[in-house]
Amino acid sequence: MDVTIFDTEVTIDESLVEESPDEIRTQVGEYESGERTRFDLTVRYPDSYTGRVMQAMAEIPYGEVKTYGEVAAGIDSGARAVGSACARNPVPLVVPCHRIVRHDGIGNFAYPGLKEQLLALEGAEV
């Protein structure tokens, strides 16, 4: 399913979220308007490396960032592997891959310009 946030269409694999597409859209809208700082959605994490990285991403609080290296250290992995897993995140926004940044700046994101907007919305210091 696609959701729109800051005029950008983001694809979310709704098969990994227990709640309905309407509920996902409602919560994304509340997040965009600043009414919501945490998604109250049940995510089924894949039984894979990407799933492990997703679980680590989900633990990063609203308004905070971690580097790829910090996340990697927490799961006994490498920064590049974490970056690759972030790129494969099937439920962006809901599982906040935008909160993982390079040690020397923002880093890449599947939706150009959106990572900066999301971090600014959250008041995150990069």
Per-residue pLDDT of 72-119, as tens digits, reads 999 999 999 999 999 999 999 999 999 999 998 888 788 889 999 999
* Cβ proximity of 63 and 122 under 8 Å: yes
Task: Tell me if residue 86 is catalytic.
Answer: no
Determine the distance from the C-alpha atom of residue 7 to the mean position of all C-alpha atoms in its chain, rounded to a whole number. 17
Residue 19 confidence (pLDDT): 98
Position 8 confidence tier, pLDDT thresholds 50, 70, 90: very high
Q: Which fold has domain 2-122?
A: Arc Repressor Mutant, subunit A (1.10.10)
Per-residue pLDDT of 24-53, as tens digits, reads 999 999 999 999 999 999 999 999 999 999
* Cβ proximity of 85 and 92 under 8 Å: no
Q: Could you give the CA distance from residue 120 to residue 115 in angstroms, rounded to a whole number?
A: 9
**Arithmetic mean of pLDDT, 45-70:** 97
* Residue spans per domain, the chain: 2-122
Catalytic residue among 97, 118, 121, 124: 97
Locate tokens 């993982």: which residue?
Answer: 100
**What is the number of H-type helices and E-type strands within the chain?**
5, 4
